[in-house]
Amino acid sequence: MPTLSSLRINRQGQEGTSGLDSSGVLALAGAGVDVYSTLDSLPMSNLTAGAKALVTEVSRLYLTDGNGWYNVQMSGGLTPYWDSGGEPDATYTIVDSATPLIITARAADSDTANLINQSFGSDSAQYMASVTNDSSVFTFTPKSADSIGIEVGAGNLTDSNGDFIYTFKWSDGINFVSKAVTITYNVVGGGVSLNMYGDRGVHWTGRPSSASYSNIIDYIDISTPGDATDFGDYTSGTTRHMSGGASNGSRGVFHGGALSGGQTNELHYITFASPGNSTDFGDLNNNTDNTAGSSDETRGLFWHGRNNRSNIDYIAIATLGNATDFGSATYTDHETGAISGPTRNVGFGGYTTANNNSIEYVTVQTLASATDFGDTSVDISEADGAGDATRGIIALGTTYTSTGLSQTYINNLEYITFASPGNSTDFGDLTVGRGSSMCNSNGTTMTIAGGLSPITNTIDSVTIQTPGNAADFGDLTVGRFYGGAASGNAA
């Protein structure tokens, strides 16, 4: 049987050749590819069938049959890429619960005009924001604090530490370009911005004895246990007590409360980052005391009070001026407490001729009267509280055993979940039972300062998301009760 080698040798003998050395091959007929920059530059005459051309303008290969050019579909096509200015950053932040985040993620492909959007989020993304897109523009609309609180309570946000991953992905059906991006939603305890809380906790005036009033303002660093430091003085010229406070993280606003000659409608403010004396802000609608203060990121609320017991006033914290009517409380009392939250604020307790176990709430950005929330386990007055994005903790304060002044000072803490109206639940105990304390929060830790049982300078602390007994934190500069409190940023 003849071999290929013998056939080659016989053929070379017939042709008088000795074969072809591969090193001498410069080109193979029909194998060359000419390169052109544009489609218009392709030659239209003297075409040789089988000739090929690469057009860089569209990154496509063309083949001619001698009469015209035909596009050759490349296997898999070319890979999509991020267009100029279209690649998203590695990280983004949703600044607050009212402001959507907009991200441009624009891809291109040299051989496909219509790319397929295959972008997706991590498990927690669906509970923290709604995502829509118009072509390459993606809008992340943050979920409300109430909605996020429900998901936290249901255990659906277990994979989130205040952020989620969103992967932007565009495909031509075969190849794709993608980028995983981390989006933070300023989460403290469950998913929303808490600008009304901060590490600097300020304590405002109060009564250092049953026969005296104070103009003292002092502060603590909530993240670091220790004693309070002098901040400045209330500068109205008259010492006072029985006041509430509100914060937007930068400015704290406090009601003047009671003074030696009666009640006042004065509002004063401080700037958390700049220790110093208070400055006039404006006025409440009525002279009163025993108000409770709370806030969200922009509005401050002042609840109840001795002379207008069912009223709720509000202010825009960033704008100096007088308060405006917000709505009515669900009951008529004074010596009430309140807790700030990102969407809902909660009021509780109080006293007129007897104690009250009511809890009520409002949606801070919606002017309307309060709605019943639930009850505390006992009737209380002189209570206060603080919280985080999802949970509020109530320091129960005092319960009167009769319509006189016979009081029992309670060391219990109870908590509620903002998004789920219902009765409060046992949290733990304070180191010292007391009424009329001053409560602050940085969104993680709550502090409970001062109070009456008898008059104390003790500051306790608890971790808001971890039920348990309070730990000693430090001491106020002066022991006192009937003061106000608010927290904000130290810088």
User: Can you tell me the mean pLDDT for 290-306?
Assistant: 87
Distance CA 303, CA 255 (A): 11
User: Sorting pLDDT into bands at 50, 70 and 90, what band is 477?
Assistant: very high
Is the model's pLDDT at 188 over the cut of 50? Answer: no
User: Can you tell me the mean pLDDT for 334-354?
Assistant: 86
Q: How many CB atoms lie within 10 A of CB 308?
A: 18
Q: How far is CA 370 from CA 286, 312, 415, in A?
A: 19, 9, 19
Prediction pTM value: 0.65
User: Can you tell me the mean pLDDT for 256-270?
Assistant: 78
Confirm if 485 and 383 have CB atoms less than 8 A apart: no
For tokens 């932040």, name the residue.
Answer: 93
User: Sorting pLDDT into bands at 50, 70 and 90, what band is 4?
Assistant: very low
State which of 297-306, 373-382, 436-445, 469-478 shows the largest mean pLDDT. Answer: 469-478
Q: What is the pLDDT of residue 119?
A: 96
Confirm if 321 and 306 have CB atoms less than 8 A apart: no
Nearest alpha-carbon partner for 406 in 448, 355, 335, 458: 355
HEC profile of the chain: CCCHHHHHHHHHHHHCCCCCCHHHCCCCCCCCEEEECCHHHCCCCCCCCCCEEEECCCCEEEEECCCCEEEECCCCCCCCEECCCCCCCCEEECCCCCCCEEEECCEECCCCCCCEECCEECCCHHHHEEEEEECCEEEEEECCHHHHHHHHHCCCCCCCCCEEEEEEEEECCCCEEEEEEEEECCCCCCCCCCCCCCCEEEEEEEEEECCEEEEEEEEEECCCCCCCEEEEECCCCCCEECCCEEECCCEEEEECCEECCEEEEEEEEEECCCCCCCEEEEEEEEEECCCEEEECCCEEEEECCCCCCCEEEEEECCCCCCCEEEEECCCCCECCEEECCCCEEEEECCECCCEEEEEEEEECCCCCCCEEEEEEEEEEECCEEEECCCEEEEECCEEECCCCCCEEECCEEEEEECCCCCCCEEEEECCCCCECCEEEECCCEEEEECCECCCCCEEEEEECCCCCCCEEEEECCCCCECCEEEEECCC
Cβ-based neighbours of 112, under 8 Å, separated by 6 or more: 77, 78, 80, 172, 173
Q: What is the pLDDT of residue 433?
A: 87
Q: What is the pLDDT of residue 227?
A: 98
State which of 75-79, 328-332, 423-427 shows the largest mean pLDDT. Answer: 423-427
User: Sorting pLDDT into bands at 50, 70 and 90, what band is 50?
Assistant: confident
User: Can you tell me the mean pLDDT for 148-155?
Assistant: 64
Is the model's pLDDT at 186 over the cut of 70? Answer: no
Q: How far is CA 259 from CA 24, 281, 287, 327, 479, in A?
A: 108, 18, 11, 26, 18
Distance CA 394, CA 66 (A): 88
Average pLDDT of the chain is 84
Range in 19-28, 210-219, 393-402 the model is least confident about:
19-28
User: Can you tell me the mean pLDDT for 154-172?
Assistant: 80
Distance CA 352, CA 333 (A): 5
Nearest alpha-carbon partner for 265 in 240, 288, 246: 288
Cβ-based neighbours of 86, under 8 Å, separated by 6 or more: 104, 105, 106, 107, 108, 136
Q: What is the pLDDT of residue 395?
A: 94
Confirm if 447 and 439 have CB atoms less than 8 A apart: yes
Is the model's pLDDT at 321 over the cut of 70? Answer: yes
Is the model's pLDDT at 268 over the cut of 60? Answer: yes
User: Sorting pLDDT into bands at 50, 70 and 90, what band is 131?
Assistant: very high
User: Sorting pLDDT into bands at 50, 70 and 90, what band is 443?
Assistant: confident
Q: What is the pLDDT of residue 10?
A: 54
- Better pLDDT: 189 or 304: 304
User: Sorting pLDDT into bands at 50, 70 and 90, what band is 308?
Assistant: low
Per CATH, is 200-488 categorized as 2.120.10.80? yes
User: Can you tell me the mean pLDDT for 295-318?
Assistant: 86
**Segment 235-258, tens digit of pLDDT:** 865 555 567 789 999 999 998 676
Domain ranges across the chain: 32-72, 81-184, 200-488
Is the model's pLDDT at 183 over the cut of 90? Answer: yes
User: Sorting pLDDT into bands at 50, 70 and 90, what band is 39?
Assistant: confident
Cβ-based neighbours of 29, under 8 Å, separated by 6 or more: none
- Better pLDDT: 112 or 193: 112
User: Sorting pLDDT into bands at 50, 70 and 90, what band is 311?
Assistant: confident
Q: What is the pLDDT of residue 95?
A: 78
Distance CA 143, CA 30 (A): 63
Give me the CATH code for the 32-72 domain, please: 3.40.1620.70
Bridging pattern class, strands 384-387 and 371-380? unpaired
- Better pLDDT: 121 or 260: 121
Whether 32-72 shares its CATH topology with 200-488 is answered: no
Distance CA 73, CA 247 (A): 64
For tokens 């010229």, name the residue.
Answer: 237
**Segment 75-127, tens digit of pLDDT:** 456 789 999 999 999 999 987 777 899 999 999 998 788 899 999 999 889 98
Q: What is the pLDDT of residue 146?
A: 59
User: Can you tell me the mean pLDDT for 380-396?
Assistant: 90
Domain formed by 81-184, architecture = Sandwich (2.60)
Confirm if 394 and 416 have CB atoms less than 8 A apart: yes
